[in-house]
Amino acid sequence: MATDTPEEPRHPTEPEEQARTGSPLDALGGTVLPDHERWEYCVIHVNEDTSQQPSATAASEKLGGSMSPDFIEQQFPDQYRRKPSPHPAEQLGRFLNKMGSKGWMLTNITSLGPLQMYIFRRRKLN
């Protein structure tokens, strides 16, 4: 007896899929990839530090010039010591080299709202 309603598409059962592909299936019924095709990901949020070092000149101005910038620097050397910081490109280069030495490869840099995300991947280690 013929009907006018089409048959619903039939999805293969797990044994049929496994027999067709020859591969084991994961818990969700998908084919388990061979070890050489598995990846793990690492997402790093990179902060941009826009703060500036304290200024003895600004502190002197705030005090109405009652103390000179030199005097303030001498009296509070830990707070007003000029600390050279590496250039941001140098800092980023060191970070990327460290990740690379651990097997991570940078695959994407993206913004998520105000956040800058660095996405790395490497072959999944067993």
Q: Which distant-in-sequence residues (6+ apart) come within 8 Å of 80 by Cβ?
A: 53, 54, 55, 56, 59, 72, 73
pLDDT per residue rounded down to tens, the chain (126 residues) = 555 555 555 555 555 555 565 666 666 666 666 666 788 999 999 876 666 777 888 888 888 888 888 888 888 887 877 667 788 899 899 999 999 999 999 999 998 888 899 999 999 876
Q: Say if residues 23 and 14 touch (Cβ distance below 8 Å).
A: no
Handedness of CA 71, 77, 78, 81 (dihedral sign): positive
Asked if the structure places residue 5 within a domain, the reply is no
Asked if the structure places residue 71 within a domain, the reply is yes
Give the per-residue pLDDT at 58: 85
Asked if the structure places residue 9 within a domain, the reply is no
Asked if the structure places residue 55 within a domain, the reply is yes
Give the per-residue pLDDT at 93: 94
The domain in which residue 41 lies consists of 14-123
Domain count for the chain: 1
Asked if the structure places residue 2 within a domain, the reply is no
